[in-house]
Amino acid sequence: MRTTVGIIGAGPAGLLLARLLHNAGIDSVVLESRDRAYVERRQRAGILEQGTADVLRAAGAGQRMDREGLRHDGIELRFDRRRHRVDFPALTGGRSVMVYAQTEVCKDLIALQLAEGGPLLFEAEALAVEDAATDAPRVRFRHQGREDVLECEYVVGCDGFWGVARKAIPAELTQVFERTYPFGWLGILADVPPSHNELVYARHDRGFALLSMRSPSVSRLYLQVPDGTDAGAWSDEEIWDELERRFETADDWRLERGPITQKSVTPMRSYVHEPMRHGRLFLAGDAAHIVPPTGAKGLNLAVGDVVTFARALTHRKATGSPELLDAYSETCLRRIWQAERFSYDMTTLLHRAPGTTGFEDRLQLARLDRIASSRAAETDLAEGYTGFPFG
């Protein structure tokens, strides 16, 4: 099998890249180790930055998002029983975010790829990327019980942290930067309408809490818990009681309770692999970087990566110049490090780490008070949350 771009992974990054290349007249093949049903039901983040939503619309994949997604023009910060709303459009020249689950993005892109795009092979496990430093890289993969080879001009690894693409870059050429946090998020899905119409980020002496949503009838909520926590160790009543404590305000706001349908714990880490390119192999998304979920950046960073690659390859096709492809890693990493900085700032602003002192507590409250009282500080948060420009 032969193609111009071999794409490993049919998450939102790989699927969107295939769509962008199709629209540019560049052929590709997508290899996905899981079956279609698994890809279309795996739960991931659901906050789309302004730029991500715009890219999906321009790619022809935004119709259902605009019909069913929830546009949000702000978030609410809670601390010291106070409430402060950050108005995104007023601070950023009109930008907002969209609540639309990653599972739905994947469903939309899969339907388009199968109807109009190149081959999308499910249950096709990539085994190795070979000859990445040459002009003819190959992806060795297993599909329908037998091994095969995908011969490419370029390979893009959108196969996540545990995928094979990053392993093809020699260790002596790489640098890894990472941080592991001593806490995680206990997340729940509940069949109850959200108790607020926008996301609520709460800083509390007992730990962080987040009120989010999947739809007008399904709430998604999170509690900061110690690293290694077993989600099953928390009863439903204990979860609701703790959420109620951490979201407490000085007014008459109330948290609505309902049946909990899912519980899980998400670990918190920051990770960046440099470089993101080796020869004709390019890394995108979690294959190259991970952010803690506090800043809602993971999916959006992956979109930025594939947009950068698609633009660069389209430029090469139109002009013959490899300039943008050669700058891929540097271009992506500028945006990635800003997102890492923003996610770290949000995490340390709102979470209470083990051993936190009274001095550090007061600093957190002072930082939050600064955001609530300074337009400049508030604007910096709004610009970071709604998204940094692509390339």
Q: Which residues pair with 186 in a beta bridge?
A: 223, 265
Residue 330's contacts (CB-CB under 8 Å, 6 or more residues apart) are none
Catalytic residue among 278, 297, 328, 351: 297
Q: Is 297 a catalytic residue?
A: yes
Q: Is 259 a catalytic residue?
A: no
Q: Is 317 a catalytic residue?
A: no
Cis preceding-peptide flag for 12 (omega within 30 of 0)? no
Q: Which CATH superfamily is domain 5-71+101-177+269-346 in?
A: FAD/NAD(P)-binding domain (3.50.50.60)
Q: What is the pLDDT of residue 391?
A: 67
- Classify strands 175-190 and 260-274 as parallel, antiparallel or unpaired: antiparallel
From the centroid of its chain, how far is CA 242?
A: 27
Q: Of the candidates 163, 116, 107, 109, which has an alpha carbon nearest to the alpha carbon of residue 139? A: 163
Q: What is the dihedral sign for C-alpha 38, 40, 41, 42?
A: positive
Catalytic residue among 22, 72, 196, 351: 72
Q: Is 385 a catalytic residue?
A: yes
Q: What is the pLDDT of residue 390?
A: 82
Q: What is the pLDDT of residue 41?
A: 87
Kindly give the parts of the chain with pLDDT less than 50: none
Tens-place pLDDT, residues 8-28: 999 999 999 999 999 999 999
Tens-place pLDDT, residues 191-206: 999 999 999 999 999 9
Q: Which CATH superfamily is domain 182-268+355-386 in?
A: D-Amino Acid Oxidase, subunit A, domain 2 (3.30.9.10)
User: Are the beta carbons of 157 and 8 closer than 8 angstroms?
Assistant: yes
Domain ranges of the chain: 5-71+101-177+269-346, 182-268+355-386
Tens-place pLDDT, residues 45-83: 689 999 999 999 999 999 999 999 999 999 999 999 999
Q: Is 100 a catalytic residue?
A: no
Q: What is the pLDDT of residue 381?
A: 98
Average pLDDT, the chain: 96
Task: Give me the sheet containing 124-130, strands edge to edge.
Answer: 124-130, 138-143, 146-151
